[in-house]
A and B are shown apart, each in its own frame.
Chain A
Amino acid sequence: MDLDFSKEEQQFREQARDWLQDNVPEDRRPHHGDAMRDYDKEWQKTQFEAGWAGVSWPVEFGGLGLGLTQQLIWYEEYARAHAPDNHLCFVGLHHAGPTIMACGDEAQKTAHLRGMLTGEEIWCQGFSEPNAGSDLASLKTKAHVEGDELVITGSKMWTSHGHLADKQELLVRTDTDAPKHKGISWVIFDMKTAGVELRPIEIMTAPNLPHFVQCFYDEARVPLCNVVGGLHNGWSVAMSTLGFERGTAQIKDQIRYAFLVEQMIERARKRFGGANLQNDEIGSRLAQLRADMAAARAMTYMVVSRAKAGLKGSESSLMRAMVGDVQQRVRRLAMDIIGPEALENPEDDDWVYFYLRTFSTTIAAGTAQIQRNIIGERVLGLPR
């Protein structure tokens, strides 16, 4: 048990801090559309060119080939420098990329990993369907083999930024006779393929602007060599990266939210007066959140500690469940602190926007309820 960082790790931290200080974009990140896409790609490219884009990615794909501790340090410094998240690169960097690294063949790695890191290749996810959400394995989008191609027909739902993406990690049913977890394949799908149509879906933060798309596939053809990890083996391919590696990236949110709680304390002191806050319900909630944010950060350290020790259990879901809940409570309290201003949603102030946005934290990537099933069954060993 220790909080020590080696001399090399501390040097790495100083280098990261210095570089971020000089290079973090000064303009605010747009929340939508091509402007957001250009912004994310540009910032990703800047990080790549300076060598910071993939701290723990192998050197052969443009990464630094360093360990989880350096990855953690990078994200800590990233958040401290108030660097913006480039959400459009998220699926590539944290999901499709690690999946291809774990299960892809050499050609697939060579074709895609570098582009994810440089920001040239934007990825989206094609997992959920209109009738396959929490019960993901019941997905029905079908694909059959014709020669050296897969022919895909069906529909995918809740694909964030699908209209802005180049590639999609797509789960399709390639064997309809097999048990539901056995007949699925994980496919690299080009969003420009003929036979694909996108229907935009607006979300509660921003009516009139699409966030999700629903994707319709009408006999869309994909080369068979785009199947990752073997035909019908897609479920275990998809599960290979759901978990602990992404623990390090969570530290960014922990630190940002801790900053936010400090801002909220300042704002509440101004509005109510510091002394009045002491016996006030808002003061009590602020203090509890300050403690909870400290704990969320410690939990992230715990996730990284377990990963470094090679313990690849489902325990990281404990941290995820906690953090989803805490983020919602922070944003909810922010609304109470700003009071009547909460009814205004100006373009240049994010407080209300992010309050609305955090409703996704207990839904996306497995609802809070599914998380609790996983915790109950895989961490605690309760029967199904």
Chain B
Amino acid sequence: MNLLPSPEQEQIVDTLKAFLSEKAPVSRLREHGALGNPDQALWQELGQLGFLGLGLSEEAGGVGLTSADEALVYREFGRHLISVSLFGTTLGAHIAASSGDQGLLDSLLSGTTTVGVGNLFSDGHLHQEGCSGEFHWFEARDAQFVLLLDESGAALIATEDCADRRKVNATDASLALERATLSNAKPTCWIGAEAAQIHTRALLLTAAYATGMAEATRDMAVEYAKDREQFGKPIGSFQAIKHMCADMAIRTEAAQSQTFFASLVFAENRDDLALQVVSSKIVAVDTALKNAAANIQVHGAYGFTAEADAHHYLKRAHVADQLWGDLRTQRIRLLSLSPTAQ
């Protein structure tokens, strides 16, 4: 039993950290806000580095690692607020692999085909024969496909098959957001929930992404508290601020530990899989939201400005909350699960 990343895993994470620090500093969101998110342009390089097919077998064209490794890299994607379109590619690749569509899989893993993320907005249903309902589409504007998934399964829908789309103003302005209404749109690719545990995997990756955001906001708040002086001292020397930072660290440790734990339970497909993964989404998203708010407060008036990065983390945390069921939905689901012997 060991929850710490192995040296090999550290190496993978370090490679990604170096890549993202150079190509996707969070400051990019300041420059590109109004122009649209440039992240999808990174997919081809991420694909060459192997990050798009990390959890897929080598025969399928992936790297042959596990959900634990996927979770580790999604933490870094969250830390850098990488476009949620990446979920479309990672999960889309699992869908293509499970349904045996090698051509689609290859184009996803190379980053040449991009996938937006659809999130059920109101009543609807997903089915192999046709998907209906009203959805939020994230980052689907230039994408060939959109990913839809719920507890029944997962679909890739060709974006050109949907005429009823309208752009809406996004709370998180660094993401392109649309409302799309589908009536019986037939998926290009479909798998049931059992295959690749696709819905649970989506929750786990969201938890990892939220954990990364929580770590980033904790670190931002701590750095600012060391640097900013008032009353002749760094504000981090005052207990009012110090304890806020400590609370951020406590919550983050909970989110990180639970997400790591759940990612290993996922890799082993244990009986308590659903319980551990849903718990990880609840704890991590709750932490991302609370830390984002605390980070703004620690930064004072500067934290309230558009030029500080703090607001991006708050807005993205709300996106992560809504993806595949918000805190309320996840709590209801968790309460309905039967306890396990684990």
Which residue of B is nearest A9, CB measured?
B1
Q: A291-B279, A372-B246 known; A305 and B3 CB under 8 Å?
A: yes
Contact between A306 and B4 (Cβ–Cβ < 8 Å)? Answer: yes
Q: A278-B335, A372-B247 known; A382 and B2 CB under 8 Å?
A: no
Contacts of B260 in A (CB 8 A): 1, 298, 302
The number of chain B residues touching the other chain, given as a range, is 35 or more
Which residues of chain A (1-22) have a CB below 8 Å from chain B? 1-5
Which residue of B is nearest A375, CB measured?
B246
Interface assignment of B294: CB less than 8 Å from any CB of chain A: no
Q: Which residues of A contact B (CB under 8 A)?
A: 1-5, 69, 72, 262, 265, 277-279, 283-284, 286-288, 290-292, 294-299, 301-302, 304-306, 308-309, 315, 318-319, 321-322, 369, 371-373, 375-377, 379-384
Q: How far is the CA of A9 from the CA of B280 in the complex (A)?
A: 27
Interface assignment of B301: CB less than 8 Å from any CB of chain A: no
Cross-interface CB contact of A305 among B4, B222, B245, B258, cutoff 8 Å: B4
Contacts of A315 in B (CB 8 A): 253
Q: A1-B264, A382-B226, A383-B237 known; A301 and B257 CB under 8 Å?
A: yes
Interface assignment of B191: CB less than 8 Å from any CB of chain A: no
Q: A383-B226, A383-B233 known; A299 and B257 CB under 8 Å?
A: yes
Contacts of B253 in A (CB 8 A): 299, 302, 315, 318-319, 322
Q: How far is the CA of A308 from the CA of B283 in the complex (A)?
A: 26
Contact between A3 and B250 (Cβ–Cβ < 8 Å)? Answer: no
0/1 per residue, B208-234, Cβ < 8 Å to A? 000000000000001001100000011
Contact between B261 and A369 (Cβ–Cβ < 8 Å)? Answer: no
Interface assignment of B242: CB less than 8 Å from any CB of chain A: yes
With A284-B331, A305-B2 known, 18 other A-B pairs at CB within 8 A are: A1-B4, A1-B68, A1-B260, A3-B261, A5-B1, A291-B282, A291-B331, A295-B255, A318-B249, A321-B246, A322-B251, A322-B253, A322-B254, A369-B243, A372-B243, A372-B247, A373-B239, A373-B246
Contacts of B278 in A (CB 8 A): 291
Q: How far is the CA of A1 from the CA of B278 in the complex (A)?
A: 20
Contacts of A302 in B (CB 8 A): 3-4, 253, 256-257, 260
Q: A278-B332, A380-B245, A383-B237 known; A294 and B279 CB under 8 Å?
A: yes
Contacts of B339 in A (CB 8 A): 262, 265
Cross-interface CB contact of B243 among A1, A288, A297, A376, cutoff 8 Å: A376
Which residue of B is nearest A277, CB measured?
B335
Contact between A383 and B246 (Cβ–Cβ < 8 Å)? Answer: no
Contacts of A321 in B (CB 8 A): 246, 250
Q: A262-B339, A291-B334, A305-B1 known; A284 and B328 CB under 8 Å?
A: yes
Write the nearest CB–CB distance from B73 to chain A, whole angstroms.
Answer: 13
Write the nearest CB–CB distance from A310 to chain B, whole angstroms.
Answer: 11
Which residues of chain B (267-296) have a CB below 8 Å from chain A? 268, 275-276, 278-280, 282-283, 286
Cross-interface CB contact of B1 among A2, A283, A288, A318, cutoff 8 Å: A2
A-B contact pairs, 16 of them (CB 8 A): A1-B3, A1-B5, A1-B9, A2-B264, A288-B331, A291-B278, A294-B258, A295-B280, A298-B254, A302-B257, A308-B2, A319-B253, A321-B246, A373-B239, A382-B242, A383-B226
Cross-interface CB contact of A287 among B245, B247, B334, cutoff 8 Å: B334
Contact between B242 and A372 (Cβ–Cβ < 8 Å)? Answer: yes
Cross-interface CB contact of B268 among A3, A284, A286, A298, cutoff 8 Å: A3
Contacts of B263 in A (CB 8 A): 1
Contact between A287 and B332 (Cβ–Cβ < 8 Å)? Answer: yes
Interface assignment of B236: CB less than 8 Å from any CB of chain A: yes
Q: Select the residue from A321, A380, A383 with max chain B CB neighbours within 10 A.
A: A380
Interface assignment of B265: CB less than 8 Å from any CB of chain A: yes
Q: How far is the CA of A295 from the CA of B277 in the complex (A)?
A: 11
Which residue of A is nearest B248, CB measured?
A380
Q: How far is the CA of A384 from the CA of B233 in the complex (A)?
A: 10
Interface assignment of B6: CB less than 8 Å from any CB of chain A: yes
Contacts of A284 in B (CB 8 A): 328, 331
Contact between A380 and B249 (Cβ–Cβ < 8 Å)? Answer: yes
Q: A308-B2, A369-B239 known; A380 and B261 CB under 8 Å?
A: no
Which residues of chain B (295-342) have a CB below 8 Å from chain A? 328, 330-332, 334-336, 339
